[in-house]
Homo-oligomer: A and B are copies of this chain.
Amino acid sequence: MRIGEAAAAAALTPRAVRYYEQQGLLEARRTPSGHREYGLSDIRRLRTLRELLEAGLTIADVRSFAHVLDPAPAEGAAAVPPADGAPESCEVRDVSLRRLADLEDRIDALTQLRDRLAAGIADRFGEAFDPAP
């Protein structure tokens, strides 16, 4: 499957897909002639990227989450080659935790707005709203 079809399948444009690749959010196999080739896993990835960007994340945000979007390299193999002592691992961990905290702050802010919006709607148009189950 080439870029046009893949982009359509993920509700994107070829331009956006190439841009994501250029930004390191994606890698694509190439045919001998140079055309990009995509599979089903790529489409899932593209859809995830679209959702996250539509949700307000930046390319840089998503890039910093990239390792989480990968299929997670099975439990058997060593997740991180123990070639390094610990500092790099710790730093990655710390960055990940900060990112997680940022994300939770964002979710909290949006959730508070959601509640205020729902309350405002209820005030103006009646109380008949499900308080989000």
Contacts and interface: CB of A to CB of B under 8 A. Distances in A.
A77 to B, nearest CB: 12
Contact of A116 (B57, B69, B80): B69
Given A55-B56, A69-B116, A107-B107, A100 B121 contact: yes
Contacts of A116: 68-69
A44 interface: no
Given A55-B56, A65-B117, A79-B123, A106 B110 contact: yes
Contacts of A93: 121, 124-125
Contacts of A120: 67-68, 72, 96
Interface string A72-106: 10010001100000000100110011011001111
A118 B106 contact: no
17 contacts: A51-B109, A55-B106, A56-B106, A68-B113, A68-B116, A68-B117, A79-B124, A93-B121, A93-B124, A96-B121, A96-B124, A97-B121, A99-B117, A103-B113, A104-B114, A107-B107, A107-B111
